[in-house]
Structure 1
Amino acid sequence: MGRKSLYFLVLGVLVACYIYTSPPDIFEEPWKLMLINVQLKTFVHLRKLDAHRRAVFFVHGGGWCSGSPALRNYDLLSRWTAERLNAVVISIDYRLAPKYHFPIQFEDVYNALRWFLRRNILENYGINPERICVSGDSAGGNLAAAVTQKLFSDSDANIKPKIQALIYPALQPLDLDSPSYQENSDMPILPKSLMVRFWSEYFTRDRSLEKAMLSNEHVSAESSHLFQFVNWSSFLPERFRKGHVYNNPTYGSSELTQKYPGILDVRAAPLLADDSKLRGLPQTFVLTCQYDVLRDDGLMYVTRLRNAGVQVAHYHVEDGFHGAISFPQLKISHRVINQYISWLKENL
């Protein structure tokens, strides 16, 4: 018998073993049952062969009080991301304000992320544990940044994301008078008054906090040391500082920060993390828009992460506005989404 004939004989035996499973005599149409079994076996084996897929854990925006993965804009983003990356996209829901306040939203997202990162869950979805991204936009970008910081400081977390991608994230409620808040206070989609309302309702229904935030007098002198982490005169690139003069904070009563300590909590304000907590964070993508009150939050985080040794890709949209990815009827939405997905494709 030649070598080629031997190979075919061995292959034939293996195929026969794979296909043939002797069903009990009582079964009708045993050969049809065997073919169904072959199809199921093939599906399982193909899943195993495809067990190196990427995954994106996405957190929607909406000011912590609205939004859902089922909304058309987020559903389309998830579908496009999954299709173009051949990835599993987990777009999660979480409880919303004003019924629920911080830290509920953070805890919902963090618990969901810890569940998703369990090895048996990743195996079930055919995901490579070394190719996972945590991402989010706006308030979802806040939550994505916060849970990533928490995860990388959690010694019990054995699996950690490779990268994080933050789309115009809200990262601090201490200084609501940065240049971007001043320049874009009346900008469509997200004026300053609405962003302040979102921040306030993230913590409480008490409108006195919103009033103090609008005048930028909601942080007491006892917490003055935290302003070093959000000092835009130190962390903004020069072109974004031009025409603006940094004034020392105007301190308010300590009553508000005592009643609502979440204002000063790094889980609500990722920019308040000190450098030791930023070191070791994963490679990061930050997207900012010129006409956005939250522009400077993202810019400051880019600077602080880079100062801490984190590799950061910063994409600034000169003609962009807050919520740009949420309007697929506009050309800018597709341009921004393409940049985001292209970066994921290259780095995840």
Structure 2
Amino acid sequence: MMRLRAAFKNIFLISSVFVALMLVVISAAVFLWQTTEEGRLPAKTAVVLHAINNNLVDLDINITPPRIVSGEKGGSPTILKEDIFMPVQGDVQIPARIYRPRGEGPFPIVMYYHGGAFMEGFGNLDTHDNIIRSVASRTNSIVIAPSYRLAPEHIFPSAVEDSYTALQWAVSNADSLNGDIEKITVMGDSAGGNIATVVAQMTRDRNGPELLSQVLLYPLTTFQEVPLASRDIYDSGYYLLSRSVMYRARDAYTPEEWMWSHPYTSPLHSEDLSGLPPALVITAEFDPLRDEGEQYAELLHDHGVSVRTSRYRGVMHGFISFYEVMQSGRNGMHEAASFIKQANQDQLVFTDEYQLQVRQPPQGMERVREQTEAFAIAAYLLGRSGADIFINE
């Protein structure tokens, strides 16, 4: 009996030492991943970026994030999904995805334009399906996401013309969709944010359809060479968008230099933004597009457009796509959905002065949860790849 007790005691001690060593290893790994030249990252952001940039899981800018740690279940069963083809200019049919609530309606309409640098291989309906689905569920709206034609085969203005025509199609078919043409929002992320606000300009310039609001998630707003600190600081690509990709996008989508200053490619340099619908602009701290998004929001305000601007600290470009994994992504998604619902209910309130709201990383119990989940993900990554994942390439 004494020997058995001693054996159990030794096993317990060995197990305790092993667990303690693993905690030290995991803590050291997370600390290293958090430490960057551009600043210290929150733990969750750090481990997600490490996984993406080291190809440790199928989690990158082109792929919907897996539910390593999911804070939200899948789409509501009350939301119907339909993939269709819709006609655009030149007798062309483009794919589109529609999520719509069950019931008689009429329901508000959201036109969602996906990101992806305007180029083939960088974004499509599937890479953004979780956002499209979530917006429909959270706002009780019909969300129509057209798959506009992409460069290099189709250069400017194909993408924006397709997107505007898709809006016209939505209005023409609103009755069959149980949609309310008095409550239409345009929304998009990154390149899609550019398209959304350009479509808003096109509706003004072409006398409709009328829009209720616009929601721009970390939008690209200029193709010109202008001094922007965020483009210089975060241009490596580690934060999911690189300067080289931006140059490739410009060369592919706007191959002629005159296109770079057109208001339908570079709305930041538009001479007239008056008459556009109220806007929500969301930016990310660690994002090369941060400054131009915020400058565009301020320019909208200067032209008499009601605008809210939110910068989320501690996150990277595209962070709302990872709302199933990151609390800041969930917060950003919630803010966007709340803005749309307020617009639909005529409850938007703005201040006279332009304000940039800085949203802090999760605090309190949310921070504890994020830290715990970050360590769990780190343990998973370490288990997959071994000790060599400490070394950042």
Per the shorter chain, which TM-score range?
A: 0.5 to 0.7
Partner of 2:285: 290
Partner of 2:7: none
* Selected match of 1:265 from 262, 265, 274: 262
Residue of 238, 244, 247 corresponding to 1:193:
244
> Given the superposition, is the C-alpha separation of residues 190 and 49 from structure 1 closer, same or farther in structure 2, using an over 3 Å criterion?
closer
Q: How big is each residue's C-alpha offset from its partner over 1:90-110, in whole Å with a ceiling of 9 and x where there is no partner?
A: 011011112221111111111
Relative distance call for 1:199 and 1:48 in structure 2 (3 A) is closer
Residue 52 of structure 1 corresponds to which residue in structure 2?
106
Instruction: Give the Å deviation of 1:127.
Output: 1.6
Q: Are residues 284 and 133 of structure 1, via their aligned partners in 2, closer, same or farther at CA, if it must alter by over 3 Å?
A: same
Matched, 1:68 2:124: yes
* Matched position secondary structure for 2:195: helix
Structure 2: which amino acid aligns with 1:79? Answer: R
Q: Per-residue deviation at 1:280? A: 1.3
**AA at the equivalent of 2:135:** T
**Structure with greater helix percent:** 1
Residues 303-342 of structure 1: pairs in structure 2 closer than 5 A: 303-327=298-322, 328-342=324-338
Paired letter, 1:192: R
Q: Is the 8 A contact 1:137 1:169 kept in 2?
A: yes
Instruction: Give unmatched runs, 5+ long, in structure 2.
Output: 1-100, 345-393
- Report if the CA contact (8 A) 1:81-1:89 is conserved: yes
1:209-242 CA deviation, whole Å, 9 max, x = no partner?
A: xxxxxxxxxxxxxxxxxxxxxxxxxxxxxxxxxx
**In 2: Cα distance, 1:185 partner to 1:288 partner:** 16
The TM-score with structure 1 as length reference comes to: 0.65
Residue deviations 1:95-145 (CA, integer Å, cap 9, x gap): 111222111111111111122223xx1122112222110010000001111
- Deviation string, structure 1 residues 312-338 (Cα, Å, up to 9, x no partner): 011111112111122233333222212
Q: Which residue is equivalent to 2:174?
A: 122
CA contact (8 A) 1:326 1:333 kept: yes
Structure 1 position 49, deviation (Å) = 8.0
Q: Which residue of 2 aligns with 1:101?
A: 155
* Counterpart selection for 1:135 from 187, 207, 211: 187
Report the TM-score when normalising by structure 2: 0.58
Q: Within 1, Cα distance between the matches of 2:338 and 2:132? A: 14
| Contact preservation (8 Å) 1:103, 1:262 | no
Separation in 2 of the partners of 1:303 and 1:83? 30
Q: Distance in 2 between matches of 1:319 and 1:339?
A: 17
Q: Contact 1:51 / 1:127 at 8 angstroms: preserved in 2?
A: yes
- Matched-pair contact (CA < 8 Å) for 1:172–1:272: yes
For 1:117, what is the secondary structure of its paired residue? helix
2:131 — aligned with what?
A: 77
Structure 1 spans left out of the alignment, 5+ residues = 1-46, 205-258
Asked if 2 retains the 8 angstrom alpha-carbon contact of 1:61 and 1:137, the reply is yes
**Aligned length in residues:** 240
Q: CA deviation at 1:64?
A: 0.3
Percent sequence identity is 30
- Counterpart position of 2:219: 169
Between the aligned partners of 1:315 and 1:260, the Cα distance in structure 2 is: 32
Are the structure 2 counterparts of residues 99 and 80 from structure 1 closer, same or farther at C-alpha, using a change threshold of 3 Å?
A: same
Residue 212 of structure 1 corresponds to which residue in structure 2? none
Contact 1:132 1:163 in 2 (8 A): yes
Aligned to 2:203: 151
Structure 1 segment 201-240 matched on structure 2, within 5 A = 201-204=252-255
2:273 maps to 278
For residues 305 and 176 of structure 1, the distance between their equivalents in structure 2, rounded to whole angstroms, comes to 18
SS at match of 2:126: coil
For 1:293 and 1:177, the matched residues in 2 are separated by 12
Q: Quick one: which amino acid aligns to residue 115 of structure 1?
A: W
C-alpha displacement of 1:55: 1.1
**Normalized per residue, which structure has more strand?**
2
Q: Using the alignment, how far apart are the partners of 2:257 and 2:165 within structure 1?
A: 23
Q: Report if aligned partners of 2:239, 2:287 keep a CA contact under 8 Å in 1.
A: no
1:129 is paired with a residue whose SS is: strand
Q: Could you tell me whether the CA contact under 8 Å between 2:149 and 2:162 is conserved in 1?
A: yes
**Residue 146 of structure 1: CA displacement?**
0.7
Tell me the secondary structure at the aligned position of residue 203 of structure 2: helix
> What amino acid is the match of 2:269?
L
